Chains A and B, each alone.
Chain A
Amino acid sequence: MLLIPCPWCGPRDEAEFHYGGQAHVAYPENPAALSDEEWARYLFFRDNPKGLFAERWSHTAGCRRWFNAVRDTATNEIHAVYRVGEPRPVSA
């Protein structure tokens, strides 16, 4: 049960959140222009690093806001949280 620092509500139990996988995967500008390979990459391929990972969370049982976090998947340590639309912090 991670303690996740929601940027809007403060630290809350993991059970209050919904996980959204990799952050910063934008919906393609023009899907029709993509090859099948490129579209498949958008649909199905996400990074899966052992180490720092910028990922999305939604505080579903709280403010219902989506936000991003940088977490180390080897230790579960959360290095940073930041709001949607903000760039990934350089230090994390």
Chain B
Amino acid sequence: MSPTTQGRRTPGADLPDHPGRLWRSAEPKRAYDVVIVGGGGHGLATAYYLAKNHGITDIAVLERGWLAGGNMARNTTIIRSNYLWDESAGIYEHALKLWEGLEEDLGYPLLFSQRGVLNLAHSLQDVRDSVRRVNANRLNGVDAEWLTPEQVKEVCPIVDISPDVRYPVLGATYQPRAGIAKHDYVAWGFAKAASDLGVDMIEHCEVTGLDVRDGRVTGVRTTRGPIAAGKVALAAAGHSSVVAGYAGVSLPLQSHPLQALVSELLEPVHPTVVMSNAVHVYVSQAHKGELVMGAGIDAANSYRQRGAFHIIERQMSAALELFPVFARAHVLRTWGGVVDVTPDASPIVGLTHVENLYVNCGWGTGGFKATPGVGWCYAHTVATGEPHPLNAPFSLDRFTTGKLVDEHGAAAVAH
């Protein structure tokens, strides 16, 4: 070993230490005021805000596997609020404001890094749609800028803005306050804070049925026995259709595998988050140096937490189109989660036709960034029995009235 490597330490290797005590893994009691089905980020945040904002602490969070081991452990951790429609901007911006104070609120280092996000435009229509979104964002108080290709290069020097690219970069929207956080830490921060307020975290407890009497939910059946509940709040992501089905609630959801991957640790090259819909890429470089990339969703419905490989190959060709310097980086690990997608690519948060049964689902590929925001609003909905104004537009009846929040069709950016 030469003097150049001797004793050299790697930037980012010293992640902050976790607290010495996280959460109590509890045995289920016979009854709770509120049972939350799903111990992912949304379920945990909901439990925390129910306890903190509404004083409801007799809560069980039921997780079928290990806590926060579903999509919360599998996402690419992008946080932003630059959504097109007012309704979306409302809830995501609320979330972003909460993110900005969350480390302090939870007393947990979340590695929340506001490094900005670039959403690239590759066609003249992309440019129109992007400028439209920037202007919409500004009216909604969401920080947003339109950048020329040269400005894109200043923010992220490794983006190839040359015209040789099959679909050249014609510009980008930029949200400086956007960024990333460490997903596990976020989950554990909420879990610890909720646990400290008296919430029971019950792991390896799969819900196998919902008890409904006279149009009202009264409890859940689980692999660890029945649990009575005053209210039941679903937060089961990709499995929402299955769980809601136990109460005869059908949801306009389709579950698909979504994949992501990481590279080895690399010296810093990528200072922000870059997303492109046309050349399908979303990438950031995490604190320790690994490139974290999301791939596309599999076309067919599946509950396999594993996607098809040709999706990864396409993802790599797209990545090299925009970032030729990635050529000899290596894929270390790929993985998949199951996302529940709605017809308008917006979530469903609110009441159901079964009294005291609430749904929060349909976040598709973009649920992580909403974690504190939806936790806050969903807790309000569950506690009061009325939707919070920010999630009222995301009710189930929008599919009947036709008042969709179409983040898909409007060429906005999902994820």
Contact = CB atoms under 8 A, between A and B. Distances in A.
**Chain A bound to chain B:** yes
Interface of A: 1-2, 14-15, 18-19, 21, 36-37, 40, 43-46, 48-50, 53, 55, 71, 73-76
Interface size class of B (residues with CB under 8 A): 20 to 34
Contacts of B303: 50, 73-74
Contact of B309 (A1, A43, A49, A73): A1
Interface of A (DSSP majority class): mixed
Nearest to A50: B303
A1 B301 contact: no
A92 B340 CA distance: 25
Contacts of A1: 308-310
Interface of B: 239, 241-242, 250-255, 299-304, 308-310, 340, 343, 399-402
B239 A44 contact: no
Contacts of A73: 255, 301-304
Contacts of B340: 48
Contacts of A45: 250-252, 399
A42 to B, nearest CB: 11
A53 B300 CA distance: 11
A21 B341 CA distance: 13
Given A37-B400, A75-B304, A44 B252 contact: yes
A50 to B, nearest CB: 5
A31 to B, nearest CB: 14
Nearest to B404: A44
Given A73-B302, A75-B304, A46 B252 contact: yes
A38 B302 CA distance: 26
Interface centre among A21, A44, A53, A73 (most CB of B within 10 A): A44
27 contacts: A2-B308, A14-B300, A18-B299, A19-B299, A36-B401, A37-B400, A43-B343, A43-B399, A44-B252, A44-B399, A45-B250, A46-B254, A48-B241, A48-B242, A48-B251, A48-B253, A48-B301, A48-B340, A49-B242, A50-B239, A50-B241, A50-B255, A73-B255, A73-B301, A73-B302, A74-B303, A76-B302
